């Protein structure tokens, strides 16, 4: 029996090795598509998930075709009049690659109510602080609508579920890589 030897770091295989494909984009797309399969509309909350396929023309030709992006549109309506009081939209797109979610607060162009857009490459793991402050301001503007705090809870629940899914997918990926 020969003694064990250390592998030669300069060894080159005589056979071409197939490249190892990065599966992270597929996991991200799966999480994104899974988020679109649930509609949380109930009571005063209106939730409209939108699937938005796109192709990038950066190199002059579509590459890769039909990447997935998503919008999650949330509306909170008055319990008394059914008019829209506040709108929050989550835009998930790989072009928003900044470190933190981008928050844009304005007036909704159709309903003329308070509106907030949260743009990022993935779902945030928590509602950004400026959105929490904005929701408190909206509640102060409409003191007769005591139920506006339920809107912030519904949004927090939505974000918590997405964060849990992301952690679960990451754990599964680590477990699969270790076997």
As a three-state string, the secondary structure of 115-144 is EEEEEECCCCCCCCHHHHHHHHHHHHHCCC
Q: From residue 83, how far is each of 87, 105, 118, 141 by CA, in Å?
A: 11, 19, 22, 15
Q: Give the predicted TM-score (pTM) of the model.
A: 0.77
Rounded-to-integer distance, Cα 58 and Cα 138, Å: 40
pLDDT of residue 25: 76
pLDDT of residue 151: 92
Residue 34's H or E segment, with its range, is helix 24-36
pLDDT of residue 64: 55
Q: Where are the domains of the chain?
A: 41-51+65-171
pLDDT of residue 76: 95
179 residues of the chain, pLDDT tens digit each = 555 666 666 767 777 778 878 777 778 788 888 888 888 999 999 999 998 887 666 666 555 556 678 899 999 999 888 999 999 999 998 888 899 999 999 999 999 999 999 999 988 989 999 999 999 999 888 887 778 889 999 999 999 988 886 666 555 544 454 44
C-beta of residue 74 within 8 angstroms of C-beta of residue 46: yes
pLDDT of residue 28: 79
């Amino acid at each position: 029996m020969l003694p064990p030897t250390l592998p030669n770091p300069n060894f080159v295989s005589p056979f071409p090795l197939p490249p190892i494909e990065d599966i992270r984009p597929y996991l991200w797309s799966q999480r994104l598509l899974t988020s679109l399969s649930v509609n949380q509309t109930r009571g005063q909350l209106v939730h409209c998930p939108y699937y938005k396929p796109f192709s990038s023309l950066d190199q002059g030709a579509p590459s890769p075709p039909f990447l997935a992006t998503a919008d999650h549109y949330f509306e909170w309506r008055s319990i008394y009049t059914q008019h829209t009081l506040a709108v929050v939209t989550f835009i998930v797109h790989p072009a928003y690659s900044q470190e933190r979610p981008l928050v844009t607060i304005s007036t909704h162009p159709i309903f003329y109510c308070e509106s907030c857009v949260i743009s990022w490459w993935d779902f945030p793991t928590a509602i950004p602080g400026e959105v929490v402050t904005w929701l408190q301001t909206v509640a102060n503007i409409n003191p007769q609508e005591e139920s506006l705090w339920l809107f912030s809870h519904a949004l927090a629940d939505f974000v918590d579920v997405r964060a849990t899914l992301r952690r679960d997918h990451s754990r599964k990926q680590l477990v699969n890589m270790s076997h």
